[in-house]
Structure 1
Amino acid sequence: MLGGFPLSLLAFVLIVTMTAVGVGTLVIWVGVPVLLLLTQVIYGFAALERKWIGAMLGVQIPTPYRERTGSVLQKWRQQLVDPQTWRNFGYLLLAFPLSVIEFPLAIAGAIILPIGIWVLPFIASLHAQLASAMLGPNTTAQLSERAQRLQASRARGVDAAEAERRRIERDLHDGAQQRLVAVAMGLGRAQKKFDADPDGAKVLVGEALADAKLAVSELRDLARGIYPAVLGDRGLDAALSSLAAKCPVPVNVRVTVEPRPPAAVESTAYFIVGESLTNVAKYAGASQVTVKVWREDRPSGDLVVVEVTDDGQGGAVFQAGGGLAGLADRAATIDGVMTVVSPIGGPTVIRADLPCTW
């Protein structure tokens, strides 16, 4: 409290003075750069307050800012309409009279022991709660933004599921269904020849048997494309090692995800790695690939992080309807985020952050 008083005093004097000068000279445009600088001062002092409270009171306040794009004036306009700017402004103005009260209390607490033992910690706790409420993320806005993001991700997930359904239907129609129709026709022709031409019937039965084996193989491949058996039985480590063994490019796999994540997370991670390795083999011209999958504990919940790195030629980008966009849509169905960093000349890094709860 003793150390916070000078900081609050400096912030109050600067903000009030710059506000008065900026608004007073706005009509002649001199106030524009002054007010532009004022917003930076507000954000700077708010950041100092967070660090100060974290160091002195042990309360960590997350930074709630959003990314801003465009020119300097466009970014300034985005700051002006951001509610967090005005919450910072209000806190810094309110903090000064509070710090004046806290300063005499701190002096008294240094002399009168009961005040220092019981009153000051209570006042400090209230100060930390006020700072968290005004300088930290707006819970309502966060929930609203998360709801919008989930709604968008669910819509993308529905589209991805519909595209997958059409692919499965097409594969069934063009593959196994045609094989099974051929089996039925062959067996029907063989049945008619059993008495009159046994040798011809045997040939037809043999052809039907071959078609049946092909149909089973195609159905097995289709089922593996939906959810591979090795993934369900033995988990990500074994499933990704199986993918790596089939890749023509040498792949180094490191998986540390214990305890085992939910099935939706495992399947998403599996298909992201599988598609990435396919792309590497087709387009990257790489000599080495590294696949790393690990678990991270974060305040918002556990994550499974998937990272595929190759030393190829780079240049991979998201394209509408492309494989990478499809993987991003698949990740979005569980509120995951996928990023691609692929400068020309490489290396290419594909990363997916997949929450274990959504």
Structure 2
Amino acid sequence: MTAGQQVQVRPDQPWPRPAKAILYMISTFVLRLVQFVLIVTGIAVGVSTAVVWIGFPILLGTTGFIRWSGDLERRWIGSRLGTPLPPAERLPLAGLSLTQRWQRRLTDPTTWRDLLYLLITFPLACAELPIALASIVLLPMAIWVVPWIGWMHGQLALTMLGPNRTKRLEQKAERLQASRARGVDAAEAERRRIERDLHDGAQQRLVAVAMSLGRAKAKFDHDPDSVRELIDEAHLDAKLAVSELRDLARGIYPAVLGDRGLDAALSAQAAKSPIHVDVTVDVEPRPPAAVETTAYFIVGETLTNIAKHAGATEARVKVWRTDSLVVVEITDNGHGGAEIKPGGGLAGLADRAATIDGVITVVSPMGGPTVIRADLPCEW
């Protein structure tokens, strides 16, 4: 990944960037006008002149233009709106005569899906163009309205130009399988961390307590002063062991999160950060515990990374809920250039989100700002 790219853990549809969405709406209007006129004219003329055979080459050319336009649209949707669309899966044409190739194109469901999409998007472009032009001077519209329209347009393209339902279900199954595998790896890494912390921390403290009490027992009858010192030492080690166990338990599931929810838990995290952090949380109704825990640790690990590596002076944490998602967005004013690298902190965030089939998106151009977004589903 290069700095500034959007990185997604799985091929779900991201939120389009305003500038690219505006450029897409403006630049495609003329193209859609040309496509609509040529397609409607080609079909009308081809059908009306088919009785004298002139219409067949016209219909053949129109069909080829529809397929070419559909493929062009798939590429533009991916580059401008950030919705990844695979190349169209079409019926093979190799080894067929010209007539057979045309018949094959007419019986290919993808051709008809391309045609329907191109006919629908022309009136949509007529409505989108004024909004795109107005958003050039109206910043709120550019920030909030245009990305939403771009998202809806991408959803339409994904439905009509993307893989069919069976293929999408197969891809979802493969994605879930990969997510579960990454979740198992993340859980195993967490188990090893807990085991290591117990061995190096509380376990050693408790061993020291047992040794001190054993020595005190041996000296109990003839050296009461030493016994008192050993008991004091055992008492101190026991308190340290309790403190370390409490910290370990907090690392597994913080009590404030279970008792008071994400707002209080994230505010407590922000208060401990060495830089100023604004926190806004609106997740009613309360999401499942697994989602809350994932969001909590994503924010905590991100704020830690910002304090260590970003060179930022302030950050903003915004968490909100839609019908099916909890969205976590962390923004900082650091120097940017964040990258997802194997074994790195951002890769760890991706693995943690994958345990519940979540998506991590990173936008971090050189010079900043950096935006890390997690889309966490509330249903599985």
So what's the TM-score if we normalise by structure 1?
A: 0.69
Counterpart AA for 2:368: G
Q: Is residue 2:170 matched to residue 1:161? A: no
Unaligned 5+ runs, structure 2:
1-35, 47-55, 75-80, 93-104, 118-157
Counterpart AA for 1:249: I
Greater Rg by CA: 1
Equivalence map 1:56-67=2 (5 Å)? 66-67=84-85
Equivalenced residue count is 275
- Give the match for residue 306 of structure 2: 280
Q: For 2:194 and 2:354, locate their aligned partners in 1 and report how far apart those are by CA, in whole Å.
A: 21
Q: Is residue 2:214 matched to residue 1:188? A: yes
Cα shift readout 1:48-92 (whole Å, capped 9, x = no counterpart): xxxxxxxxxxxxxxx9x8435xxxxxxxxx335599x94231457
Equivalence map 1:296-335=2 (5 Å)? 296-297=322-323, 302-335=324-357
Counterpart AA for 1:177: Q
Corresponding residue to 1:40 among 68, 71, 80? 68
Cα shift readout 1:216-240 (whole Å, capped 9, x = no counterpart): 1111111111110000000000000
Q: CA RMSD in A?
A: 3.3
Q: For 2:327 and 2:185, locate their aligned partners in 1 and report how far apart those are by CA, in whole Å.
A: 24
Q: For 1:250 and 1:292, locate their aligned partners in 2 and report how far apart those are by CA, in whole Å.
A: 14
Counterpart AA for 1:351: R
Q: For the Cα contact (< 8 Å) 2:43–2:59, is it kept in 1? A: no
Q: For the Cα contact (< 8 Å) 2:42–2:59, is it kept in 1? A: no
Q: For 2:244 and 2:353, locate their aligned partners in 1 and report how far apart those are by CA, in whole Å.
A: 27
Counterpart AA for 1:40: W
Q: Which has the higher contact order (CA 8 A, sep 6+)?
A: 2
Q: Is residue 2:221 matched to residue 1:201? A: no
Corresponding residue to 1:10 among 41, 44, 47? 41
Unaligned 5+ runs, structure 1:
23-33, 47-62, 69-77, 96-131
1:322 Cα offset (Å): 1.0
Change (3 A) 1:184 1:94: closer
Matched-pair identity in %: 65
- Give the match for residue 234 of structure 1: 260
Q: For the Cα contact (< 8 Å) 1:8–1:92, is it kept in 2? A: no
Q: For 2:45 and 2:109, locate their aligned partners in 1 and report how far apart those are by CA, in whole Å.
A: 17
Q: For the Cα contact (< 8 Å) 1:43–1:88, is it kept in 2? A: no
Q: For 2:369 and 2:301, locate their aligned partners in 1 and report how far apart those are by CA, in whole Å.
A: 17
Change (3 A) 1:9 1:263: same
Counterpart AA for 1:276: T
- Please give the secondary structure, in 2, of the residue aligned with 1:255: strand
1:267 Cα offset (Å): 0.4
Q: For 1:42 and 1:354, locate their aligned partners in 2 and report how far apart those are by CA, in whole Å.
A: 32
- Give the match for residue 109 of structure 2: 87
1:212 Cα offset (Å): 0.6
> Larger deviation: 11-20 or 274-283?
11-20
Q: For 2:279 and 2:311, locate their aligned partners in 1 and report how far apart those are by CA, in whole Å.
A: 19
- Give the match for residue 165 of structure 2: 139
Equivalence map 1:26-37=2 (5 Å)? none
Cα shift readout 1:248-270 (whole Å, capped 9, x = no counterpart): 00000000000000000000000
